[in-house]
Chains A and B, each alone.
Chain A
């Protein structure tokens, strides 16, 4: 159905894919495995026509395919469901399904009644019951995903690409999705299923391809491959190399931050947790469980609606970023581009950003002092760059992340919160960031790490707090943590 031969693609500063070949057969479910930063996203954007490859050939349904736009790929029957979806939140379910393929009447006008009727029929065929008039923003994430798949059906899909579809749904919803994918396979549709959960690959895929660092590691029949083999293909080294050794004896100190019944935003309710000096606590859960909202609340970036925070010996019912910084709390946000770094400024300015008073003399910024501090941090965290004056926008994701971690590590005395600290970061930089976190903890800082990667949680955390639907559903000590244990707390249908 789809054949990729020696595809390469580079971006300024990064080589995202080099010489990757892949074949998806008609009517198979093909798994695509790889860590974050392995090149999965780039690959599917090429298949979707959103990127054009620098080198290599692609053919689809027996003909050479050189797509210059997503529109062209769609016309040939390739439909991609992205992790962040391509939906229109204010439009109705029916309108979202038929957008660009409007149902018309004899006069060529949009036939609203037919649109709604056909949308209802289509959803019925997919086995989901949704109000076709509801606006998509009012749906659950799982239902939004169904709307995306329904939209693919309208366009006579031949190859359906799903980008980590299970990252946002759980339990019964996953079963429903898999059921649907199997039925699609029977009707001759090929599916390219991107994931980093091995269980799912074994549950649904016929064959699996592993990418690592932008290169093809191999393609195997799922029946011929073991779980262990896949892990070593994905990671390419022992986990021990990636994560720094834990200190022999856990030396956790006094509680530095404690919350009581904290509520933030629409969902996060009744959070009572405690962080102790020198420990690394992972905050696990599904995407959308409210972990990031909680982090923003603790840092004061969004208002706390209820409850109290005990920090630095004081009791607060509200928090602001300025106060949090003064009390030695730092936050590395999930999205470094839009919420963390000033992309157009240089490294020095980004590092000293939240602590300008330190580099000010007579109320003015002392550029030389600023650049000296930056040079020291560049050295300490092995940030690859030409010097303190390098613009952050020109650096690779891993190095950008190191800049932002360096910023907070410098001024953070009591608590550092990191939201998905290694997302979109290559393996080398990952190991560095883990080392920095371990060092900080050893110096007495409490670290709260939000992570959706279970290997990361298990490799780093002294303690794991699991959240689901805005509430804490359980807590696991580092030594008793298992993948299954976390997933159970993160997804179980009945409240724990």
Chain B
């Protein structure tokens, strides 16, 4: 324990903020080592691209979730928002290539708007984000089912490109996720409002006393989360060809996993999106490894859960615990 602290003290200042990344990088290394022993195809470039592609949806939604957690909150409406946006995407485009661009823009705007409403409710009603977004999630799931009870609409071939297309040999969706992640990392590091997300998450009371604008910060944070959900919804509609009303259900809890694996504190104030991206990649890599080992989907869930509990127990501050 003291040795770990000693190492942190010697790190240059610009590295300290990335100290949380160490864990996830080590874990990725471990999975790669095991993979190498299991199959020589595991470490091939093609398999890497494959895993990269499978990271897309989880990466997109968790990048947004990182912001809400950093700010000391959480967004539990992500799953339903993904379901709604994926249904709206295929339902509204309805196999008409001319509608692709307006619908994509509208869906992204809607996701952002839902995020703004979440932030607005947190500020106006003074209710914890956990409750606000839980309620918002239920509302959105209801709205989704009002719109569609099963798979709805279809997307044209041109739109499928988002999920299956390659750009200079790289999977398009995953590349977009990486670019989005870099953009948000830049915002977090170089925009005053980005720095203030950390301050708010670190100590909300201090933030109030030094006069930080909580409303603006939360609008940015939950707006971003909503935008990321909409992007995930678009991607899933493209991948499955049609939106489904329950397609996002599992993402609510799943989106928290990469955040935690990436070294972001669940209580907020410390962490970042690069770690989250690596966390999402680690999960995809792990599932890929388990596939190589012919482990059933059910055990994959168990393995994932164990890794999360283990990872969190490594990061957690144990002082004061018996």
Contacts and interface: CB of A to CB of B under 8 A. Distances in A.
B210 A100 contact: yes
Interface in B1-54: 13-14, 16
A133 B13 contact: yes
A90 B202 contact: yes
A494 B320 CA distance: 29
Contact of A95 (B191, B195, B205, B206): B195
Interface string B201-212: 011011111111
Among A69, A74, A91, A104, the most chain B Cβ lie within 10 Å of the Cβ of A91
A89 B203 contact: yes
A90 B270 contact: yes
Contact of A104 (B192, B205, B209, B213): B192
Contacts of A265: 320
Contact of B13 (A88, A92, A109): A92
A283 interface: no
Among B205, B206, B265, the most chain A Cβ lie within 10 Å of the Cβ of B206
A70 B16 contact: no
A88 B269 contact: yes
A87 B206 contact: yes
Contact of B190 (A80, A86, A110): A110
Contacts of B192: 102, 104, 110
B202 A100 contact: no
A109 B199 contact: no
B319 to A, nearest CB: 7
B322 interface: yes
A303 B321 CA distance: 8
B205 A86 contact: yes
B211 A74 contact: yes
Contacts of B208: 70
B198 interface: yes
Q: Interface residues of A toward B: which range?
A: 20 to 34
A70 B210 CA distance: 7
B279 to A, nearest CB: 20
B196 interface: yes
Contact of A86 (B194, B195, B206, B213): B206
A110 to B, nearest CB: 5
Interface string A236-277: 000000000000000000000000000001100000000000
A361 interface: no
Interface in B172-229: 189-192, 194-196, 198-199, 202-203, 205-213
B206 A110 contact: no
Contacts of B207: 88
Contacts of A75: 211
Interface of B is mostly: helix
Contacts of B209: 48, 50, 70, 80, 82, 86
Contact of A99 (B190, B199, B320): B199
Nearest to B319: A266
Interface residues of B, number: 29
Given A69-B211, A92-B13, A302-B320, A85 B206 contact: yes
A133 B16 contact: yes
Contact of A90 (B13, B269, B319, B320): B269
Contact of B202 (A48, A89, A302, A303): A89
A109 B191 contact: yes
A91 B191 contact: no
A88 B212 contact: no
B182 to A, nearest CB: 15
Contacts of B265: 90
Nearest to A116: B13
Given A133-B13, A133-B16, A100 B196 contact: yes
Given A86-B209, A302-B320, A99 B191 contact: no
A71 interface: yes
A72 B320 CA distance: 38
A30 interface: no
Contacts of A50: 209
A303 B162 CA distance: 56
B17 to A, nearest CB: 9
A9 interface: no
Nearest to A81: B209
A102 B195 contact: yes
A151 interface: yes
Nearest to A136: B202
Contacts of A88: 198-199, 202-203, 206-207, 269
A99 B194 CA distance: 11
A50 B205 CA distance: 11
A74 B207 CA distance: 13
Contacts of A80: 209
A151 B322 CA distance: 37
Interface in A53-93: 69-72, 74-75, 80, 82, 85-92
B241 to A, nearest CB: 42
Among B191, B192, B199, B210, the most chain A Cβ lie within 10 Å of the Cβ of B210
A137 to B, nearest CB: 10
B212 A100 contact: yes
A80 to B, nearest CB: 8
A86 B210 contact: yes
A86 B209 CA distance: 6
A454 B211 CA distance: 36
Contacts of B198: 88, 90-91, 95
A273 to B, nearest CB: 23
Given A86-B206, A89-B202, A92-B13, A71 B211 contact: yes
Contacts of A110: 189-192, 194-195
B253 to A, nearest CB: 25
A87 B270 CA distance: 15
B183 to A, nearest CB: 13
Contacts of B205: 86
15 contacts: A70-B211, A72-B211, A74-B211, A88-B199, A88-B206, A90-B198, A91-B198, A95-B195, A109-B191, A110-B189, A110-B194, A112-B14, A133-B16, A151-B210, A303-B322
Q: Which 8 A-B pairs have the closest CB atoms?
A: A71-B211, A86-B209, A133-B13, A102-B192, A86-B206, A109-B190, A88-B202, A90-B269
